[in-house]
Amino acid sequence: MLQANTILDLSAIKAILPHRNPVLMLDRVQVVEADHLIGVKNLSINEPFFQGHFPGHPIMPGVLQIEAMKQLAEIAVRGELDPEGCNDVYLWKLAKAKFRNPNVPGDRAKVEVKVESITDGVAVINGSVCNSGGVTCEAQFSLKMRAKSAPSEMPEMFNDYDRAAGFAKEIGDVVAVMPHRFPFLLIDGIRIMEEARAVAVKNLTGGEAMFMHAAEDYAVMPETVLCEILAQAGCACVLARPENNGKLGLFAALMDAESFAPVYPGDQLVVDVDLPPARKAFGKGSGKIYVNGKVVFQSSLMFAIVDPA
């Protein structure tokens, strides 16, 4: 049980969370009450994600703000959801997340969560992130516990989503329209590109930075990063439209996200996104991520198309 008015330093945070760099998003935590926690994440240009999001216009990815809230909430509820500390506390559902303002190098992010309820193994959380300029992100989400698992079969090899089947947009075409770069470019090509739909492919490999977030014995992709993979597939579709040449695509909101199964190194993600043409600077879409034909994740999203600063 967390004690009120306790300060957790980095070593204490790591003793509770399995997360490690570069996806550990908390530097210090204050336990205000057992169900009310405040965290600090200092933002430095030396953060790896700033190098790829975006070169020349560094912005903290919105999904990493959600990840910071998720990690802070996990500290609050892990003792009840997983008292033995041997299972996986994961982001089960994200009801809504709104991105209001950017966090950039030099900012200090204040992360705050309140546990609204824990019922039948589901913890419902309200969270926010702010900097000295005000609120940058707000979210309502649910955490759940699942047993740690491992792939039970080899992936299906050489299907219609491999390069030999023909990509509508190779990776060179993708980076020509998208500002994302290493280590935060999270699609490997576009298999199908239509006016209002894109099907992207992401090959998950164990050497990837996003798998270095947890203990060696359990490498799964964080659900927040699955949100980003889905969004980047949509971004590639939207920014390829002639009227959006040279612009940036930014998250405005995520809605009704749900995780159905973990994804592992060796999986091939097929990311199917529908994005009707936007009439204004904002647009809406929805998408699903498949592994071997089964849905592992889905979400709706709202995005903004803006000129670079």
Most confident among 12-21, 116-125, 233-242 (mean pLDDT): 116-125
The pTM of this model reads 0.95
For the segment 59-84, what is each residue's pLDDT rounded down to a tens digit?
Answer: 999 999 999 999 999 999 999 999 98
The CA distance from 170 to 11, in Å, is: 43
Output Rg (C-alpha) for the chain, integer angstroms: 19
Distance CA 201, CA 270 (A): 5
Catalytic residue among 19, 36, 53, 57: 53
The mean per-residue pLDDT over the stretch 152-174 comes to: 94
Tokens, residue 105: 């190098």
Q: Kind and range of the H or E element at 255?
A: strand 248-259
Of the two residues 170 and 284, the one the predictor is more confident about is 170
pLDDT of residue 309: 63
CB half-sphere exposure, 170, CA atoms < 13 A: 5
Q: Does residue 36 carry a catalytic annotation?
A: no
Cβ-Cβ contacts under 8 Å for 46 (sequence gap 6 or more): none
- For 266-287, the pLDDT digits (tens) are 999 999 999 887 666 777 899 9
Residue 259 CA to residue 262 CA, distance in Å, equals 8
